Amino acid sequence: MGAQWKAKHKDLAANARGRLFGKLSKELMVAARNGADPDLNPRLRMVMEAARKVSMPRETLERAVKKGAGLLGDAVHFEHVTYEGYAPHRVPVIVECLTDNVNRTVSEIRVLFRKGHLGSAGSVAWEFDRLGLIEAAPSRPGVDPEEAAIEAGAQDVQAGEEGDSLFLTDPHDLDLVSRALPDLGFTVHSAKLGYRPKSTVNLSAADLEEVEAFLAAIDANDDVQEVYVGLGD
């Protein structure tokens, strides 16, 4: 597991898909504040790729972009806030949020961390590396992910989900590598900045179930965008 936490089978539930689209809409709106043209706005382009990967309706995607760019006359004021702490059994957790009300969000996060421990800024971040994370799949037969990683300038590549490869980059090289991969035989499904744990905690089945329930409750919060966890597979 050891990176971005994803609830088991959560993409199969209609209400979970609705939450996912809502979170992506926020990301689209924030990214579009720097312009609605993805060719001139790398951050927007990366979020649009992530939205298309999960089949977000085109109308929903385009409306979020227009709203964020101010083309619909609605002002968008979301703030990025990050919380650090520990799940039960001292499992390190980083929670990234987008919110229009920081006071509400921190109050809700405190409640969600009651069974764990909510720390101060920097209390857990040292246990993670900040990296660019690119999920990509081969677009033609015979391509080698390791060779593509070297040629594109990625730091490393690992096996991802559903046959994808996960390319790890320096944060400053994220857009450069994501642009290079298509010419090397890969279709980029998502590209974003995130965290990878330097080490992971392994738990018994009973303890793991408790941690999973804790993480699921956090992930279900409307302001939470990403949950990163140092949890072993």
Residue pLDDT, tens place only, 2-29? 456 665 544 445 567 788 899 999 999 9
Q: For the domain that residue 158 is a member of, what is the CATH number?
A: 3.30.70.980
Res 217 pLDDT > 70 = yes
Domain residues for the domain of 166 are: 6-85+99-198
Q: Is residue 40 part of a domain?
A: yes
- Classified as helix, coil or strand, 135 is strand
Is 17 part of a structural domain of the chain? yes
What's the CA gap between 133 and 187, in Å, rounded? Answer: 14
Q: Does the residue 223 lie in any domain?
A: no
pLDDT at position 13: 54
The number of beta carbons lying within 10 Å of the beta carbon of residue 182 is 13
Q: Give 92-102 pLDDT, tens digit per residue.
A: 999 999 999 99
- The domain tally of the chain equals 1
Whether 145 is in a domain gets the answer yes
Q: Which residues pair with 96 in a beta bridge?
A: 82, 226
Assess if residue 225 is contained within a domain: no
Per-residue pLDDT tens over the stretch 174-204: 989 999 999 999 998 888 889 999 999 999 9
In this structure, is residue 72 part of a structural domain? yes
Rounded CA gap, 136 and 138, in Å? 7
Main-chain phi, psi angles of 115, to 5 degrees? -90, 0
- pLDDT over 90 (residue 148): yes
Tally of CA atoms within 13 A in the half-sphere of 87 that contains its CB: 28
DSSP string, 190-203: EEEEEEEESS-B--
For the chain, the distance separating the N- and C-terminal CA atoms, rounded to the nearest angstrom, is: 5
Instruction: Tell me the average pLDDT across 46-59.
Output: 88
HSE-CB at 205 with a 13 A cutoff on CA atoms is 0
Is 121 a member of any domain? yes
